[in-house]
Amino acid sequence: MTTENLLPLELIDKCVGSPIWVIMNSGKEFTGKLLGFDDYVNMVLIDVTEIDPNEGKIHLPKILLNGNNICMMIPGGDGETKFEGEDEDEEEE
């Protein structure tokens, strides 16, 4: 199967058991290993790091994320990646 014909839920299914970086609508971010998900993209992550812009990092053994509140998912992401054009000085302030 080529990636051109890959549906969104099929892509997420390929990520089960792998690291994933999830960015929520609230601005919170989660990194962890994807344990499973459902048709609504509710996700269970294990070995989780919650990254809150105001509170810092919190480590959790397991978490359930509501699919309605997910803004973006980055398969294999670690939460530390800098995107092209992102200013490093902005993060230090």
Instruction: Take residue 15 and report the two structure tokens written for it.
Output: 């990520």
pTM for the full model? 0.80
pLDDT in tens, 14-55: 999 999 999 999 999 999 999 999 999 999 999 999 998 888
Query: What is the per-residue pLDDT for 65?
Result: 97
d(CA 13, CA 36): 8
Burial degree of 23 (CB within 10 A; 0-12, 13-18, 19+) = middle
Query: What is the per-residue pLDDT for 82?
Result: 63
